[in-house]
Amino acid sequence: MLYLASASPRRTQLLTQLGIQHQVVTSDVVELRDEQETALAYGYRISLAKARAVADQLPDQTWVLSADTEVVLHDETLGKPENQSHFMQMMRRLSGQTHAVQTVICLMRGNECWQNHQLSLLTFRQLSDSELEAYWLSGEAQGKAGGYDIQGRAQAWVSQFQGSYSGVMGLPLYETEQLLRLAGCLE
């Protein structure tokens, strides 16, 4: 059995699409980036911390998969919007710009650990304050890295895309399946 160290319904949906049976177990890992840490190093550290926190709750030799998705603009991780004002500030910065979405995955079993990441580049068209306010009021922005949900209304904002759609959703399917096979979790 694979345990998913995430409360994200999108990650559960994506694993289910791969036909992978799993159970969800969450942890309370504090997600704060160190001042000197790169965005990618932060993603690796947090995904490992999430996997380790869940693995510590389960019997030894249990498979645990975790992921950390970050929206990155000029090596700054934007995080989740704290309120509408914070959301508007983030979206104004992303408007008309290319940004990265990185997802780092971590698979643990006992003392063994495998990690990989996927990086996508997205360019948003120019966004007006009125459409951003409407988006905030739709509820899609809350709890989302960078303040948007790629599989929702924000799809219409993407003028260019390079990378993994599932990676932007929170779990890159190709990299995840490859990691599970490499580790021997999948036949």
By annotation, the residues acting in catalysis are 68
User: Residue 35 class from Cβ within 10 Å (0-12 exposed, 13-18 middle, 19+ buried)?
Assistant: exposed
Nearest to 150 by CA among 138, 132, 166: 166
Which amino acid, residue 131? E
CB 104 within 8 A of CB 136: no
**Measured between alpha carbons, how far is 186 from 67 in angstroms, rounded to an integer?**
18
Q: Which token pair is 16?
A: 């289910």
179 in the Ramachandran plot: left (φ > 0), alpha (ψ -120 to 50) or beta? alpha
Tokens 């975790």 belong to residue: 66
Q: For residues 97 and 22, what is the distance between their CA atoms, to the nearest angstrom?
A: 37
- Tell me if residue 7 falls in helix, strand or coil: coil
Q: Are strands 112-124 and 63-73 parallel, antiparallel or unpaired?
A: unpaired
